Amino acid sequence: MKRILTIASVIMLAVSCTEKNPFLKVWDTPYGIPPFDQIKTEDYIPAIKEGIAEHEKELAAIIDNPEAPDFNNTIAAYDLSGQLLAKVSGVLFNLAETDADTTLNRVEDEANKLLTAHSDEVFMNKKFFERVKAVYEADQSGLNREQQMVLKRLYQRFTRNGVDLDEDAQQELKEINQKLSDAQHKFGDNLLAQSNAFKETFGIPVSAYPDEMSTCTDRERRKAMFEAYSNRANHGDEFDNKAICLEILKLKARKARLLGFDTFAAYQLDDKMAHDPQTVDSFLDEIIKAAVKKAKEEVYDMQKVMDQDIKAGLLPKGSRIEPWDWFYYAERVRKAKYDLDEDQTKPYFKMENVRNGIFFAANKIYGINVEPLQGVPVYNPEVEAFKVTDSDGSLLGIFLTDYFPRSTKRGGAWMNNFRDQYVDKDGNEVRPIIVNVANFNAATDSLPALLTIDQVETMFHEFGHALHGLLTKCHYPSVSGTSVTRDFVETFSQFNENWAFQPEILAEYAKHYKTGEVIPDSLVNKIIEARKFNQGFMTSELAAASILDMKWHELTEEQLEGVDIAEFEKKVCSDMGLIKEIIPRYRTTYFNHIFNSGYSAGYYGYLWSEVLDKDAFDYFRQQGIYDKQVATKFRKTFLEKGGSEEPMVLYEMFKGGQPDPGAMLRARGLAD
């Protein structure tokens, strides 16, 4: 017998569901950390729908305001709206990358559809835009610089999202955005499945690939691993990404044309520091030439070691260095040239000690303190929580670390926010909740988590992003923390890498996991001397990936028709002069940065930012790398200001002049 619900019972049921959904309540948790233990998968979509409804009401109030538009009633009102959506999204999209299952993936897919449609409705709303435009075109002299940047960014979001298009074109753009959302999600799912398959086949996570390739003496196993690694999502099966990549590229090219740009690269770069594809192409061309020249010397050195193996009968006559040999023979050369290998250094780089070293460096340079937090909610047992305070004891934020691989976590390393920093409508400062995620070597039954030199640098790198998020002191969320242009954001993460192997910092954290002995000076000197080793390879693969990214996004809709991915990659690598022993750091089918993240026509940003980072560190060295005045200036000029000023204006405020374009090449040993 069917049960008939009365209106009263329906209302009671709705109220009951609302009361149970943790997103729809104030979080009574320490520091407002999400109550992860209370959140269920089925809570996300209802909360997102409620968040969209709430945001629509906030927008309607802005649009229908009878008062003349001004910064406070239009721009600030919008910037501080949508807090429920931000609350849900901050949890969902972090967990979808770190702790997902099939069900959560489906939820993420549905959430993306809802949020994409909602975003389109907001930024194609002509009435809303008229209010924003009125403020933008009015006299801005009464606004402070942060307010001017918030206004500029909001105005650009409209103009870059099709507000001026006619109704038919807007509808087409909405369809493109939905299709892009679906395709990008599918790309990520396929790549995660392929990365898990790699682990099942070879017994190591994808993140351990370089380390394994450096030590594996079995050449056939190295070849098999290389071919599996470099052909992820490229096997012609259900997880093949080739068709999805082309679909994404075509959709982006069509989107760019609708918005008045010849290519997606031109569209993407229009509001970045580099501004246009030609500038990026010239920048990368200079780098790849210097890198490949150095890489050829590295091949020569490795071939001499391989020749010794041939002479000893370990390899057939005529064997030559192949891509699957690079890590192995580079490590052999490094051992011979610098008497240094990872087996010597790893015992001094226990994960917990390195993390303590990062905290020590932040204290020494910026005066901040980091202390463990016990008994607070975390989303996975492997996650650890910390409280970050300033020298005066005031709260800067909450910092979470999630450092080890899981089958539910995507590869790589990154920083993200669960909550942004801003000042709320009542004037209360909201401090951020930041997470650093990685896929480092996990502990085993016999060993603690011991890191490679590269992993140590990565930990410092991601904490550099965290510092950018934690130290920010902005009023508006749209410009706080890491909300800067994509080709500027890596400056501060890469800058923080410079401290990893400073002797004074090493002495505090690099201690043998068994004996507690501080890393000896002789080993420190070897590490420092070897820092520029293999930079021909490292820079070539990074620049090659950046060029591949640009060349894909410089194609028009017509040029993408009938493109063969393998042939296109081959031609791009040939045109740039890449030697056969090296492939781009990411090939097309597993290039997550550009197909499922925000780095489309923007992967060059790592190298672009490195010019700024290395030039800034040269300035530190000239003044004394622990000079308090310089460190305070760096903190206040960059880390506190977020996106509240144009990047180059900030840089010139800090240094008093333009960056030296040769700083990065010199730091990598590619130029005198």
Confidence of residue 411 (pLDDT cuts 50, 70, 90): confident
Q: How far apart are CA 7 and CA 13, in angstroms?
A: 10
Q: Percent of the chain, pLDDT > 70?
A: 97
**pLDDT of 9 above 50:** no
pLDDT digits (tens, 9 = 90+) for 600-637: 999 999 999 999 999 999 999 998 889 999 999 999 99
Q: How confident is the model at residue 14 (pLDDT cuts 50, 70, 90)?
A: very low
The residues carrying an active-site annotation are 462
Domain 7-164: state its class: mainly alpha
Over range 352-363, report the average pLDDT: 98
Q: What is the mean pLDDT of residues 419-430?
A: 96
Q: Does domain 181-338+536-606 have CATH number 1.10.357.10?
A: no
Fold agreement between 7-164 and 181-338+536-606: yes
pLDDT at 11 over 50: no
User: Of 8-12, 79-83, 215-219, 618-622, which range is least confident?
Assistant: 8-12
Q: Is the pLDDT of residue 5 over 80?
A: no
What is the pLDDT averaged over residues 590-608? 94
- The confidence band for 13, taking pLDDT boundaries of 50, 70 and 90, is very low
Q: Which residue has the tokens 């924003």?
A: 132
Q: Residue 324 has what pLDDT?
A: 98
Could you tell me the residue ranges of all domains in the chain? 7-164, 181-338+536-606, 346-533
pLDDT exceeds cutoff 70 at 3: no
Please provide residue 646's backbone torsions phi and psi, each rounded to the nearest 5 degrees: -65, 140
**Mean pLDDT for the chain overall:** 94
- State the average pLDDT over residues 318-322: 97
- What pLDDT is stored for residue 590 in this prediction? 97
- List pLDDT tens digits, range 436-465: 999 999 999 999 999 999 999 999 999 999
- Strand-pairing partners, residue 430, are 422
Give the pLDDT mean for 44-67: 98
Q: Is the confidence at residue 16, as pLDDT, over 80? A: no
Coil, strand or helix: which one is 402? strand
- The CATH number of 346-533 is 1.10.1370.40
Q: Look up residue 65 and give its two tokens.
A: 């305001």
- pTM of this structure: 0.91
Q: Which amino acid is at 599?
A: Y
Helix (H) or strand (E) holding 388, with range, is strand 384-389
Closest by CA to 459, choosing from 393, 360, 324, is 360
Is residue 406 helix, strand or coil? Answer: coil
Amino acid at 143: L
Quote the tokens at residue 672: 């005198």
Q: Which of 573, 537, 559, 551 is nearest to 670 (CA)?
A: 537
Contacts of residue 50, Cβ cutoff 8 Å, sequence gap at least 6 = 18, 23, 24, 84
What pLDDT was estimated at residue 18? 56
Mean pLDDT of 652-665: 93
Q: Which of 391, 665, 401, 342 is nearest to 523 (CA)?
A: 342
Cα distance between residue 138 and residue 147, in whole Å: 13
Question: What mean pLDDT comes out for the span 180-187?
Answer: 94
Label residue 121 by pLDDT band (50, 70, 90): very high
Interhelix angle 277-311/605-623, nearest 10 degrees: 80
Report the distance separating Cα 358 and Cα 364, nearest Å: 10
What average pLDDT does this structure show over 387-397? 98
Residue 481 has pLDDT above 60, yes or no: yes
Calculate what percentage of the chain has a pLDDT beyond 90: 93
pLDDT at 17: 52
3-state helix, strand, coil in the chain (%, to 5): 60, 5, 35
